[in-house]
Each structure stands twice: as C-alpha cells, then as structure tokens.
Amino acid sequence: MSILINKDTRVLVQGITGRDGAFHTSKMIAYGTNVVAGTSPGKEGTIIPSGVPVYNCVEKAVNQTKANTSIIFVPAPFVKDAIMEAANSGISLIVCITEGVPTLDVIEAQAYVQRCGAMLIGPNCPGLISPQESLVGILPGNIFSNGKVGVISRSGTLTYEIVYNLTQNGLGQSTAIGVGGDPIVGLYYKDLLLMFQNDPQTQSIVVIGEIGGDAEEQAAEFIRDNITKPVVSFIAGKTAPADKRMGHAGAIISSGTGSAKEKREAFEKVGVPVADEPSQIPILIKALLKQS
C-alpha cells in the first residue's frame, strides 16, 4: 500500500496548457501516473502533445473522466478559485504547486476544502510520490525507490537529498510528501503521521523540518502520544539568525520561538533522534529498526 495516491489515482491538471503545467504533465505521464484530464479556461478541445483532453472547467472534466485528484499550476492570483473549484467538483485530493499565493487566500480556500470533505497539499510544494505507482508533482522520480519508509518534508530540495541517501542505502519509500514551506498549508505533520501509522507498508517515518513556527514541536507531542513506528528527523536552519526569513515564507524565527535548537530538543525529548546531516538519516533508521 501507500498513502493518498497509488496506481489507481486519476489525475487532473489545472493549468495544463501553461509552460509548467505542460512540462510536468509530460513528466508525470512518463513516470506512469494516470493523468486523465486537464483544464484551461477557453481552451477546451486543444490538442496537447501528451494527448490528455483539455476542458474549460473542472466539473466537466470530473464528470467525463472520473478524475479524483488534481494538481494546480495556475498563477498565484487564481489559485484560491482553482482550489475551491476542484473541491466543489468532487476532487478528493488537491495538490497545489504554485508559490506566492496570498496567505489569506490559502486560509479561505483551505476552509472551503475542509467543508467539502477534500484534502489539500501545499501551496508552494513539490507534491508527492508513491514510488512505482504514481507521481503527482514536480519531484524527480528517478531518485525514488519503492519501499517501507514514509517521508514528510517542509523542504523540496532537502526531500530530494534525503531520499537520494535513503535509496542509495537500500531504504525505499512507501510515499514521500512535500507539504510546502508557506505559513499556512493544507495537510501537515500530524495528519500525515497518522496516515503513515495506519499504513501497513510503512515501517518507519522521516520528518524533515525547518525553522519557523511550532509545527515540529506539535509533531513531536503527537508522535509521543500516537505513533508507535520508528521516527527520525532532520531540522534545517540551525545557523539561521533570528527574525530573518530564510527561503520559505514560513521559515522565520520570531519572539524566541521556532529555532532549530527548540525543534531538535522537542523531538529528542520524545525519543525521536535528529540527524546532524542528511546522510545520517539512513544510519539512524537502520539502528531504530534493529531495536524494534
């Protein structure tokens, strides 16, 4: 098994005729993802190289192709409407790649998604992959391998580095998810940790965090009370100065909270080892698996 996506996932691409949408649609199809439709208002009937049918609206695309997952590449000012349109049309999982989305737009869209009973990943995220089953995002599929490690990350590029190290050390992944680096996003650590806990394929979990906010501290408490599988962590930003944003909009330490030191201490307090370098993660996982 895997979580959220698998070989039966039917993907719709919102913004499929744009540069990024078209490029990554071809990559997802090449990986084996079942991309069944795309939308681009006013361009219904357009023939695109991938051969995926283009519709004007999500509702018609869903009705005709039974798409259940969407990935969004539309420009930031239109993301709120795109997310809400997908949720309103019966899409159950919405993955938003677009960056620079206004925080208030995300708050409104996420509330609507929840009312519709759907789930949101992102915005400003690389998406997710269940190796050898489905890729819904912009992740480089060649570095992933099928296995038993679940990965949750706030950082796209760190995900790639850590997954590469896992694969090189014989530790394949069940599902890897980039949740996004904005202050407000959809599914987060606690939601995904519980999914991995309940997934029979997943034996261990890697949590990749970074400075800013208190999501990692909350995740540590959740792990203590709810997760029985081995968990390993890595926290980026240990040398970052206070009150200075580092890359992601959510990566800012303020009012004495959100530092790498505090996050590391929170994890170690509940028995989750924290790697000093990404290359140490496979070593820590193997050590925990031997103990369990």
CATH of the domain at 269: 3.40.50.261
**Of the ranges 79-83, 222-226, 257-261, which one carries the lowest mean pLDDT score?**
257-261
**Contact present, 173 and 166 (Cβ < 8 Å):** yes
Q: Is the pLDDT of residue 241 over 60?
A: no
Token duo for residue 69: 């997952």
Number of domains comprising the chain: 2
The pTM (predicted TM-score) of the whole model is 0.92
Q: What φ, ψ does residue 257 adopt, rounded to 5°?
A: -125, 160
Active site residues: 248
The pLDDT score that the predictor gives to residue 254 is: 47
Task: Give domain status of residue 43, yes or no.
Answer: yes
Q: Do residues 139 and 160 lie in contact, with contact meaning Cβ atoms separated by under 8 Å?
A: yes
Do 153 and 216 lie in one domain? The reply is yes
Instruction: Give the CA distances from residue 177 to residues 76, 153, 234, 273, in Å, rounded to whole numbers and listed in that order.
Output: 21, 6, 15, 20
Question: How much is the pLDDT for 90?
Answer: 98
Q: Kindly state whether residues 144 and 282 are assigned to the same domain.
A: yes
Q: Which domain holds residue 53?
A: 10-121
Same domain, 244 and 152: yes
Angle between helices 79-88 and 58-65 (to 10 degrees): 40
In a domain, 191, yes or no: yes
Average pLDDT over every residue of 138-152: 98
How would residue 238 be classed by pLDDT, with cut points 50, 70 and 90?
low
Domain boundary among 65, 86, 121: 121
- Residues composing the chain: 292
Q: What is the pLDDT of residue 237?
A: 60
Q: What is the pLDDT of residues 18-33, one digit of tens each?
A: 999 999 999 999 999 9
Beta-bridge partner residues of 94: 70, 120
Asked whether residue 111 is assigned to any structural domain, the reply reads yes
Q: What is the CATH number of the domain that holds 26?
A: 3.40.50.720
One domain, residues 117 and 149: no
